[in-house]
Amino acid sequence: MNILLVEPNFPLPAKSRNHRDFLPIGLLKLASYHRDHGDDVKLLRGNKYLSDFYPDEIKITSLFTYWSDYVWDSVHFYKENYPNAKVVVGGIYASLMPKHCRRSGCDDVFVGVDENAEKFKPAYDLVDIDYQIIHTSRGCERKCKFCGSWKIEPEFIAKKSIKDEICSNRIIFYDNNLLANPFIESILEELKYATYNKRVVYSESQCGIDGRLLTPKIAKLLKQARFLNPRIAWDHRYKEWKSIKKQIDILVNAGYPAKDIYIFMIYNFEPDYYEMLKKLNKCKQWGVQIADCRYRPLNQTFDNYNPIKKQTNEDYYIYSKWTDRQIKLFRKKVREQNIVIRHGFESYSRKLENWGECRRREKTKNLKVDSTHPS
């Protein structure tokens, strides 16, 4: 069979500190699965017609529900150009809103994780990247109302080891709750000594870590395993600040500079703007950066947010306790505060920002990473 795997033309987060885009890890595992079954596989991003390849089946991935328009656009394109091919949509949006997804005109919707494909390593040869993605676990035992991962992956499944999966010097963990893996200590021990092509391996996490599970031993292992930019989740109220400070101190005592620690925050949600400002000010006092995430409901199917225009709920989701102005002002304050902390400035200015970013790029350009194995 001919299998065409499609990643719709989702927006790319050009300034992401983790990686340049949301890698279609599910499609890459499907590619390995179909190759193992003797199928001819091609992977495309966006809507493109291949005159020399007619697929029997087209599998389109989906991400956030508010990017559903990109999925519908791809479904329409491939149904029109390959009318005899079966078009199936899977992924996050498809799993959270299967009925809505079916209205796109696709032939079928796949809900959840494909257990057959999950057993295979991703086909990284199909993408041009300098990192790999690993799940040490699937699912999450927490059931936060703003998150849909536990709905898509209702069973928590943890790996005991990842050493045989390593195929890059940079790993991005896609776990929903990395520290919840009961074998996390042994996995970090593996990473302490892990090498690839005779160079050491670095790692970081796409999601914030659950600091309630952080211990001095785990923090030390994270540092020894060259885990970069730890992000502590502060999802709820300001009154939790003493617990958050304790988690930061654990990481600092393990060797992490405060400015390299991030606090993951959700805004445009339950804590209102003024309470979020108190959290923001605490982070400034502590000298840590913020990884912020604007909340959208799990059934939100559009997001036309524009940071420089005055907007309403007709354009994007605005929580009842927030206003359009507050959302944009909070995002601006976070950005400016991060720049101040990152570069050690006394206060923010555009001129200092440009100078600091030029200095950072120059350091990155000239950086020679010590690739020898630690003794």
Give the neighbor-by-neighbor strand order of the sheet with 57-60. 40-45, 2-7, 57-60, 86-89, 108-109
% of residues, the chain, pLDDT over 90: 81
What pLDDT score does 86 carry? 98
CA 204 – CA 244 distance, rounded (Å) = 20
358: buried, middle or exposed (CB in 10 Å: 19+, 13-18, 0-12)?
exposed
Whether the model clears a pTM of 0.85, i.e. scores above it, the answer is yes
Per-residue pLDDT reduced to its tens digit, 197-236: 999 999 999 888 899 999 999 999 999 999 999 999 999 9
**Cα-Cα-Cα-Cα dihedral sign, residues 306, 307, 309, 313:** positive
Per-residue pLDDT reduced to its tens digit, 125-156: 999 889 999 999 998 888 888 888 888 888 89
- What domains are defined for the chain? 2-116 (3.40.50.280), 117-294 (3.20.20.70)
